[in-house]
Each structure stands twice: as C-alpha cells, then as structure tokens.
Amino acid sequence: MAKVLSVGTCDWLSIWDEARECVARGGVLALATESFYALAASATNPEAVVRVAAIKGRSLENPLLVLIGEQSALRGFAADIPPVAALLMERFWPGPLTLVFPAQSGLPAPLTGGTGTVGVRHPGDPHLCLLLQQTGPLTGTSANRAGAPPACTAQVVEQELGNAVDLILDSGPAPGGQPSTVLTIVEGLSIIREGAIPRAEIKKALSAAGMPLLAEGAERPR
C-alpha cells in the first residue's frame, strides 16, 4: 500500500524529502493540484512515465502532460518557444493553461503519444511549484483509472490506487472544478480543450498584443 503523508501535520522539508526520494527511485506519487489529485512521476524517467500510463490503464498513444515548477524547465521539453507562446506564458502562467509545443527529441514516449508534441503547464499553486522545483518536472495526469472520474481527495486515491502508487500527499480536498485549458501552438493556434481559462479571455489577450486570433473549429480530445 502507498505511504500517506498528511501535509497539514508534516513540515514542508519532510514533504519535499519524501517526494524527492520517491521520484528519484522512479516512484509514482499522488498529489493535489488546483483542481484534482494527479499522478506524478519524473517526466524524464521513461520507466516511471510508462508506469503512470499503466496505473491509469491508458494507451501509450494518449499523451501525458508535464508540470514544471519554473519556466526555465520548459527548455527541456519544448523544441521551439515562439513569441505567441511567450505572450501566453506571461499572461496566464503560473495558472490553468496547458500549452502544447513541438517536443524535444528523446522524451519518454508516453509524454508525446507519438504526436511529436508535448503538453506543459506551470501550475498556479505555490506549494506545488515549490515541490516541483525540488523534484524536477513531473507528470500531471489526473489520479484515476481511465474513464473514471478524477479524485478530489487523498482518501479516494488511496481506495482506488493505493496498491499501485508509492506515496500519497494528503493536502485535504482538492477544489475540483474545470481542468486546465489546453491550447496548441503547433501549426497555428487552436484550443484542444476549453477549461478554466475561457476561449474569449485567450482571444482578448492575443488581440491586445496584435497576435493572430485562435483558429476556430471543433475541439479535439487529448
């Protein structure tokens, strides 16, 4: 069974030490984000990333997003960061916007799903960002089996996935709500999934900077 640490009763140095050790040995932990609990493993460890996909029961062709604790970490995943991406990062990061970039070569296959692209987010939760700065970039897929609803509490994660993950950081109930908005900047701008940041808000930011507006069309699942 997974080890469960209550964030409210442990000091942050102990939390960081446990998380670092878990990630360093290729482990998988569950932690709270701004919306739901997520399955987190080193985004640069191929075996750990494959394990995350297996825990979810998810096809390796379905990409897993990456969480970073500082924007400088993006260079390890994105092959190109065009000006429009820099604008969106300045306006909406840290926050609930996942940007899909052309992927660097050599990334673990489940991060790209064979698409040649990678989704990256700099989360808005300051404690999560500090943790990411300690562990390095992590996967950020929701902590649930494929097709099941995302978990909002550590207790649900323990019940459903306690035999599969190594560590659960119990931060109390996650707020739920809408997931991040996912926007691709590959071959033009388009929204893959409209979430916490509305399409209109993104278009407004682009228009104010004189940038091309979003391509219209049906959203594509990711």
Please report, for the chain, the start and end positions of each structural domain, with discontinuous segments joined by +: 6-168+176-208
Confidence of residue 8 (pLDDT cuts 50, 70, 90): confident
- Residues of the chain above pLDDT 70, percent: 95
Does 212 have pLDDT greater than 80? no
Q: Which of 49-53, 144-148, 205-209 has the lowest mean pLDDT?
A: 205-209
What pLDDT, on a 0 to 100 scale, did the predictor assign at position 2?
A: 96
If you ran DSSP here, which 8-state letter would residue 205 be given? H
In terms of C-beta density within 10 A (0-12 exposed, 13-18 middle, 19 or more buried), how is residue 91 classed?
middle
Residues 98-156: tens digit of each pLDDT: 999 999 999 999 999 999 999 999 999 999 999 999 999 999 999 999 999 999 999 99
Mean of the per-residue pLDDT values of the chain: 93
Average pLDDT of 81-103?
A: 97
| CA nearest neighbour of 78 among 91, 68, 90 | 68
Does 219 have pLDDT greater than 80? no
Average pLDDT of 32-46?
A: 97
Run of H or E including 204: helix 199-208
Which residue bears the tokens 């701008």? 189
SS3 123: coil
Does 71 have pLDDT greater than 60? yes
| CA nearest neighbour of 53 among 9, 117, 112, 130 | 112
Domain 6-168+176-208 has what CATH class? alpha beta
Residues 163-189: tens digit of each pLDDT: 999 999 999 999 999 999 999 999 889
| CA nearest neighbour of 158 among 147, 173, 170 | 170
Distance CA 60, CA 149 (A): 20
